Amino acid sequence: MKNKKNKLDNIDIKILSALQSNGDISNVKLAKIVNISPPSCLRRVKSLEERNLILGYNAIVNSEFLGFKVTVFAYVGLESQAENDLQTFENYISKFPEVRECHMLVGEIDFLLKIIAKDWDDFQFFLTKNLTQAPKVSNVKTSLNIRSIKNLPGIPFEIIL
């Protein structure tokens, strides 16, 4: 049974979709898109935020323009999958700003990391001094991202609208 607190109607879904596409949209424009009054729209947005359906707002920054030209995906295997060891690795890796994403997986690989660096030398330094030295790490395999074809945030609202 769905939690009534998080029950959404079509207007809520349209608001979430519009904000996911453009978190900088004004309340007046958002209200027009979803076809409700601006005060009603603002109340709904605040409610979505309070119910943790909206977790925050971000600007999408051009990393290459700012000098971060290397993106690497690292596949990390740990010596053990005991909860304490997983937590130790998660706490350790969370301290590094180069690690932009960290996902625990089921299967051969324990963690998938997305790492950005200014150049190959910076990445190699991070790899050898920080990642391979992490507690309980047994192996690390990396793949250099050549080109990103699709990089969409959030969820596919197109499927439910």
User: For 9-50, CATH number?
Assistant: 1.10.10.10
φ, ψ dihedrals at 97, nearest 5°: -65, -20
CATH class of the domain defined by 70-144:
alpha beta
Residue in 111, 110, 87 with CA at minimum distance from that of residue 99: 111
Question: How confident is the prediction along the chain (161 residues), in pLDDT tens digits per residue?
Answer: 345 566 899 999 999 999 999 999 999 999 999 999 999 999 999 999 999 999 999 888 999 999 999 999 999 999 999 999 999 999 999 999 999 999 999 999 999 999 999 999 999 999 999 999 999 999 999 999 999 999 888 899 988 87
Residue ranges of the domains in the chain?
9-50, 70-144
Contact between 41 and 30 (Cβ < 8 Å):
yes
Q: Which residues, other chains included, contact 130 with Cβ-Cβ below 8 Å and sequence gap of 6+?
A: 96
